[in-house]
Amino acid sequence: MEKQVEQRAQAWLTGSYDADTKAAVKALMETNPDELTESFYKNMEFGTGGLRGIMGVGTNRMNKYTVGMATQGLANYLKRCFPELPEIKVAIAYDCRNNSSCFAKITAHVLAANGIKAYIFEALRPTPALSFAVRQLGCQSGVVITASHNPKEYNGYKAYWNDGAQVTPPHDRNIMDEVEKITGPEQVKFEGNESNILRIGKDIDELYLSKVLSLELSPEAVAAHGSLRIVYTPLHGTGVTLIPEALKRKGFTNIIRVPEQDVCDGNFPTVESPNPEDPAALKMAIDKATTAGADIVMASDPDADRVGLAIRNREGEFILLNGNQTNVLLTAYILRRWQELGFLTGTEYIIKTIVTTDLMRRIADHYGVECYNVYTGFKNIAEVIRDNEGRRTFIAGGEESFGYNVGEFVRDKDAVTTCCTIAEMAAWAAGEGKTLFDMLLDIYVEYGYFKETLIALTKKGKDGLAQIENIMKRFREKPLQTIDGAKVVRIYDYQTLETIDVASGARSKIDLREPSNVLQYETDDHTLVSLRPSGTEPKIKFYFSVAAELPSKDDYARVAAKMDAKFERIAEELGIGN
């Protein structure tokens, strides 16, 4: 057992921790040294998005002490930032995960004990509702307790700023600094005055839903095709609180539920992982849709900020779209309707992330709408919206990891708005005599067929972090010259914020504010390979994008098969194939 681990564990046995916590630490010391090491080998980092990790005792685990210490650091920073305000306010939401309500209450009490007014939702709510509440209530910050789509062992703590977006520089690093100053529970004010804790109820729900419904672009299509059969599942999460009601109010009368998954349960009993990116997570919903003869299937993740969409292909079988495909469909639909309705004035824009399909940019170019390219993470999309507020109009934006949003009243991914927009789009397509799959093929024929895939390598624990660092170092120090026989023409290194022209060696600056540990290779056949360590999971992600012309819809299967074969060759070439 490492000496540092033993010292940290001993400190928890003798410090200001409750009896149950001390007993759990002692049990690990006696019976499970490996887990003890994982629990204590480092302090859980309050990263740029907050906390996320496995629940349990220890400095590297999500528990009431790490949550309390993070909240004390946040409180200290808020009081530094807003000394002139007579009252600092923070909104708090939580999802269905085990301990989420407990961690939310601890957060509220610590804030209240520091003289900060804490507004906590009366029951679990989607993350986008928290973002909305921050702005609606005039709060200086917000906190949502969630680990998004991670397995049941995880929980997390995401911090928001007064614009309703997750914290960005300089606030993220400044909060991190304040949290690092809290070295033990004795520095945390845990006992808050109840008079400083207020409940957020249905009134905020109503305001939020009214904003969601105000985005409608095709009311006549919904009126004509509101009987579309839509299967929706919240995957045991918070989407059940608002998404079915939003769809009903929008005019959809045939919402088919999956009762077993309507049950909010942090153990996620019907799925291995509550991740709408995983086809297995949608199996029950797709089975239900097949039996019921439904048209589309939608699934939201536990905190209802991301959406998985399954549609019928030309053979009538359900297929789960990837996040790029859903983003492309929504972008093409929304921009077309904005043009048809005369809403485009030349000041509008959309946003995507650097690993999200460039087909979104092609579509935006067609409509004369600017497309911003930002780092992964919706907080970076929200930062552009904040910078342009009052001068330009944000239409929509998304990232490949199944996140999308429309409009400016929520500054994060929004499954409630996205589900409503998808349903409306399906109704519009029906009015055109098409399915969503027909729409997707039309886009590929018109703009080019872009196909993407993702391979994520999981590297857990202390050794895993070192392995991820070594992989990134290797690809930087020995850059690829070719990919599947095509010459690498440009390298984008976001750590140095430089684009390197391989032929000339010329370097140009990438116009982003902060460096990030991302590396991209672009070839002369328009293949793009991106490497990015995850900021929320013990993974390194490899993103592949290839492009080709699609002469006609009938060529889709043939071209798709060629692209899939290309993906396999690239993965094998990089040494990450199955």
Q: What positions carry a catalytic annotation?
A: 148
Please say whether the beta carbons of 489 and 504 come within 8 A: no
193 shares a domain with 63: yes
Task: Give me the residues paired with residue 499 across strands.
Answer: 492, 508
458 shares a domain with 439: no
Tokens of 453: 């895939």
SS3 180: helix
> Residue ranges of the alpha helices (H) in 448-547?
461-477
494-497: long-range pairs with CB below 8 Å, 24+? 494/354, 494/375, 494/518, 494/519, 494/520, 495/519
Give every CB contact of residue 112 below 8 A, 6+ residues apart in sequence.
118, 192, 193, 194, 196, 197
Last residue of a domain, one of 413, 447, 481: 447
Give the pLDDT score at 578: 56
180 shares a domain with 232: no
In a domain, 54, yes or no: yes
Give the pLDDT score at 351: 98
Predicted TM-score of the model (pTM): 0.94
Give the pLDDT score at 536: 65
Please say whether the beta carbons of 239 and 129 come within 8 A: no
Give the pLDDT score at 465: 84
**AA identity, residue 171:** H
- Domain range for 290 is 208-447
224 shares a domain with 179: no
In a domain, 7, yes or no: no
Please say whether the beta carbons of 71 and 107 come within 8 A: yes
SS3 312: strand
Q: How many domains does the chain have?
A: 3
160 shares a domain with 250: no
340 shares a domain with 305: yes
Nearest CA to 449 among 318, 279, 564?
A: 564
Q: How many CA atoms lie within 13 A of 243 on its CB side?
A: 38
Please say whether the beta carbons of 128 and 413 come within 8 A: yes
455 shares a domain with 442: no
458 shares a domain with 436: no
- Say which CATH number the domain at 553 has: 3.30.310
Nearest CA to 92 among 199, 172, 174?
A: 199
**H or E stretch at 212:** helix 202-213
235 shares a domain with 151: no
Query: How many angstroms separate the CA atoms of 377 and 388, rounded?
Result: 18
Give the pLDDT score at 577: 67
Give pLDDT < 70 ranges for the chain: 1, 462, 536, 577-578
195 shares a domain with 226: no
Q: Tell me which DSSP letter residue 166 carries.
A: B
212 shares a domain with 350: yes
In a domain, 12, yes or no: no
In a domain, 399, yes or no: yes
SS3 228: coil
Last residue of a domain, one of 447, 476, 494: 447
- Say which CATH number the domain at 107 has: 3.40.120.10
β-strand pairing of 318-320 with 449-458: unpaired
In a domain, 16, yes or no: no
Last residue of a domain, one of 146, 175, 200: 200
Whole-number average pLDDT of the chain: 95
175 shares a domain with 278: no
For the chain, the residue count is: 578
Give the pLDDT score at 47: 79
Q: Tokens 């590929």 label which residue?
A: 444
In a domain, 418, yes or no: yes
In a domain, 118, yes or no: yes
Measured at the alpha carbon of residue 401, what is the angle toward residues 121 and 487, in degrees to the nearest 5? Answer: 160
In a domain, 160, yes or no: yes
Task: Give me the residues paired with residue 320 across strands.
Answer: 310
